[in-house]
Structure formats: C-alpha cells, structure tokens
Chains A and B, each alone.
Chain A
Amino acid sequence: MARRTKAILGGLMLLAVLIAGPASAQAATVFGSGSSAMQPYFEVLAAAYKKVDPSTKLVYTANNGNAGAKDVQDGKSAFAFQTRPPLPSDSGLSYSKLFLDGLCVAVNPGNVLNNLKISQVRDVFLGNVTEWQALGSNLRSPISAFGRNSTAGLYTFFQSAVLGGLTQATNVTQLDKDGEVAVALSRNPAGIGYVGLANSGPGSGVKRLKLEGQPCQASAIKTLKYPLSRYGWIVLPASKPNKAATRFGDWIRTSYAAGKIIAKAGAVPAFNAKHPPKKKAKKK
C-alpha cells in the first residue's frame, strides 16, 4: 500500500515537472490560426524552426485568414497568417509582410489553354462567360468554376483583385479549403479555379495559367509583374504580442534559412538575408 502511494506520488511529481518544466523555460505551445493557403508554408517553416528554437512548439489551425485575424483579436491565437492586406475591421492588430505569394488561376492539365486576361477571369467568376470556347480553349464544354466560400482570405483577395469587389456568381462551386479546389480541378476536365501557389505546384495535378502573359511563378511574382502577386502576412496583436510568435515571424521574414525553405515550398522570399555569401538566396 505504502509503496503504491509512493509510486503514485512519484508519478504525480514527474507529471508536475513535465508540465511545469517547459513552461518555466518560458516556452509554452504557441497557437496560431488563419489562412489555409498558408498552411503548407507553415508546416515546412515550423518543422525547420524546431531546430532554431527547440523550446517553442508551434500549432497551427487552418480556419481561413479572416477567422484567424479575429482569433488574434480575441486572444485565442498568438498569431495568424493572412493572405490579404489589413482592413479597417482589423483594429488592434499589426500586420507584417512575410514573403511573396501568388494566387494562381489553374485548370485541369488536359486543357490546352495557357493564358487568360484578368477581365476574362472576372467574366468567368461573375458568370458572364460560361463556355470554354469563348476563352479560346479546345474544349467544347461549359466551364465548371471552383472557388472558395466567402469567409476565406483568398476569396477576399480574389474579390478585390479580380472581381472588383463584386460577389462571385452562384455558378461557382464553393469549397472549404485551398487543397479541395486543387483536388476538384485535377478531377474535372472542364474545371477552372483559383488556388494558392503552394497547392498548385508540380504534383498537385492542376495546370497554372498565365495571367496577362505573366506566369504564376516565382520569377514573375518577385518583380510584382504577375497581376495576382500578394504578400503573405503574419498578424500579431498590436499590443503585447507573444514573444515566441514574434521571434518566429522575424525568423521567417529575415533569416537566410527560412528564405531557402520558402523558395523550396513554392513561394518567393522577399526580405530574407541573401547570405551566407557563398550561395545566394534562391532567386530562380
């Protein structure tokens, strides 16, 4: 009996040490939320950040950018990733640019179409054009347009950058996550949709279109020539931001290592250090 009590006490103490240990080393778990288009970047960056700061554990919930910003406002998340610039509703938040990303317009690989004008994309997503023929494709079928629902940060960006603030038409199938749009396009020969850069790369089963003659690739995004170039943002509370989250953001924005990872993951580093001098930060 006594031995058992001792064992239980010992176990409890061990548990207490386990719980209190990391906390006292000022490194609790840091919770973040936000854009689902930013999630692929977060995953590779967080994995690498473990080596930089092993005491910080980062957890990210992809609940869409606008919701993530509200989570930070409410103190539910320490940071958020967002795909659109700040709006008047973002009171009490500080937005910082992390790196450049592109919103790609993608189609099924079977489609011969290569290039579209922004005005053509607008016509498709406002429901004014419904036939592939009108866009110069070889397909003789109607267009199946895929988009995101109105709570997604990508949608907000698309709405302001392409639709001129108008609501996308009812004939656009609205999906919940960036990756779901890519899956739908890869399986629908007549599909067209807007997908983040990371989810439309090689192996995603979709084909990116040029917009206004500019490819949805790092080279054109870096120079801001690609019309749907945009910054990925980290959102922190304006007052008393979580230190670990701030450090994580600074590391992504400025470090050489993060720049390499960002480039590898398909986005474009914008502010990262270009040294160690021997190898330049990947420009591609």
Chain B
Amino acid sequence: MALASRTHRASRGLLPDQRAELMLGALVCAVLLFVLLLVVFVFKEAWPSFDHNGFGWFGPGGNPDQQVQEIYTSANLLRRPVYTFHAWPIIWGTLLTTLGAVTLSFVSALFVSVFVVEFAPEAIKRILEPVVRLLASVPSVIFGLLGVLILVPFIGNHVITDGNRRSVAYIVSLSGYSLLAGVLILSLMIAPLMIAVFSDGLRAVPRGWLEGSLGLGINRWRTFWKIGVRTARPALVAGTVLATARALGETVMLAMVTGGVSFAPNPADGLIFFVEPTRPLAATILQTAEELTSEPMRHTIFAMAAVLLFSAAMLSLAGWAAKQPMKRYGVRA
C-alpha cells in the first residue's frame, strides 16, 4: 500500500483518495494541536495561583468564598494582588457529588440494563430503550429547575427537622439546597448514559456463551450474572468513565441545587451530612466567572479549571488501565 502510493505520487501528483487521506490526517493533527494548546493555555493561566499557594491550594484553611472576594477586590482597588486560596471544601464537594452520584447510578443502571437486555418482554423493551436515550439527552438546566421547584423544597420541609437545623445553625443553613439534592438529580442525569453503554455491552455478549451455560442447566439469572455481566465488564468501565466525566463537569444544575456555599460537608455530623450544602468545582467556576476580568481572580479560576481538566484526563487514563486485564476475555467496548 505504502509502496504503491509512493510510485503514484512520483509519477503524477496525488490521487483523490490520497488527498482525502492527507486532509483527514491534517484534521487529526489540528485536533491534537488544539488539545495541546488548550492544556498549555489553561495551565499557564493557572500557574500564578498554584505558585503562590503551593500544595496549600488543595488543602483546607479559611472560607473560600471570603478568599474569592478578597482576591478579586484586591485587583479592583489597585492594591497588591492577593492569591491566598484554599480549595479543599470545593474539591471535597466535587468528590462527594461525583462519587455519590456515580455509585448510586452504577448500581441502578446495571440492574436496569440487565433487565432491559435479558429479561424484559419485547413490548417493554421497545418503549424503554428510546425513553432511556431521550432521558440521556435532557439538558441539565431542566433538571436544575425541577430540583429548585420540587426536590429542594421537599428535602427542606420534609426530610430535615428543626432539630437538625438547630444543631448546625451557627455554621450552615440546612435549607434543602444540599449535597443530597445534587447527588440525586445528578444520578438521574448520568444513569441513562450508563444504561445506554451498559446495554450495548451486554447485547454484544456472544449468544453461544450464554447458551452453553444454559445448556449445562444453570438458571437464566445466574447465567447472565456470571457470564453476561462478567464478559461485558469493559463496557461497564467505559460507561462509568463516560458518566463520571459528565458528573465531574456538570455545572448549571449543581450550581442551582447544592446551596452555593463553599462548605465541606462533615461525615462526623451523622446523617445531617447528606443535607449539608456544598459547591463543586465546576459550579464555583460558573459563579465566579463574572470576576474573570480581575487578574488574580482569573488565575484562580483557571487553577480550578486546571484541576478539573487534570481529573478528567486521569479519569480516562484510569478507565483505560482498568480495561487492560479484562481485554483478553471480554467483548470490546
């Protein structure tokens, strides 16, 4: 192939298909270059913030909301720029919402997709699949509105008691805008994505493997669990990675329902922990982006963006690494 193309090029210019090949190659290179530039730009903009705070950037210390105000007013009033920023409550909030939602939706999505692929009657299957796909494409702001109007007041008025409120009244307000609201809606948003990928993986399990097991007299449930789900593990990993990435980057909905306070929910508070407010990274970027014109604030915002970008990259890498040992047995996903 390579030899042939070389002789052609030598004799009479490029053939149309070779031209297309070159164009596509150039396009791919452009995309790669774009990603590279993006990463370089974000990290360059983020550097002053990391430089001033060192590893303390990721640690606890003070109230980030107050720090944000000090950072951007320092530039407004032509004083020396302030960079002090300790993002732990925000990072902790991101971890909690993401892990909570992924765990919750992984379990439910796994059962739903097993049901859809193997056990559901044809009629239900025909309705369920398009509905799930539709659900996966609902814009997040709609979920945010539902959260603000229904779920948040419900949690505030029926889940949280006055006793709960009183126990932490001097530190945070338990108003329903909470970690729990964020996690519940976020799971609703990412579960359809997981279901779609999981079911594709489960459907790709070779029929013969399942039939072999059934032929040995093993019941349907056990067969599907031990062979179907195991074989589809790479698809489970792929779906989880995709869904986690969406959860990590979810912004508008979380900004609307998690309470907007950079507070680190404390597991030592017992069950109240779940209804404490928080604010993840992406929502913090959204709410502080209005101060982008202030230079130290811009660097701080880009530092948060860099952390998000880095987490997303690590996530893909972890997904790839997790799939490696499964590759030999499983179906591809």
Interface residues of A (CB under 8 A from B): 63-64, 66-67, 70, 73-74, 87-89, 127, 130-131, 140-146, 149-151, 167, 170-176, 180, 183-184, 187-191
Contact = CB atoms under 8 A, between A and B. Distances in A.
State which size class the interface on B falls in: 35 or more
A89 B295 CA distance: 13
A70 B287 CA distance: 16
A145 B169 CA distance: 10
A32 to B, nearest CB: 15
26 contacts: A66-B290, A67-B290, A70-B293, A88-B77, A89-B73, A89-B78, A127-B170, A142-B165, A142-B169, A144-B173, A149-B287, A150-B68, A150-B69, A167-B65, A170-B172, A170-B261, A171-B168, A171-B172, A173-B259, A173-B260, A180-B148, A180-B256, A183-B148, A184-B175, A187-B156, A188-B176
A66 B152 CA distance: 29
A174 B174 CA distance: 12
Contacts of A180: 148, 256
Nearest to B175: A144
Given A171-B170, A173-B260, A73 B66 contact: no
Contacts of A87: 76
A173 B175 contact: yes
A142 B160 CA distance: 12
B148 A172 contact: no
A73 B76 CA distance: 12
Contacts of B156: 144, 187-188
Interface in B155-173: 156-157, 162, 165-166, 168-173
Contacts of A171: 168-173
Given A67-B291, A87-B76, A187-B153, A170 B165 contact: no
A176 B255 contact: yes
Contact of B157 (A70, A89, A130, A188): A188
Contact of A63 (B152, B168, B290): B290
A92 to B, nearest CB: 13
Given A89-B77, A170-B261, A174-B261, A150 B171 contact: no
B291 A151 contact: yes
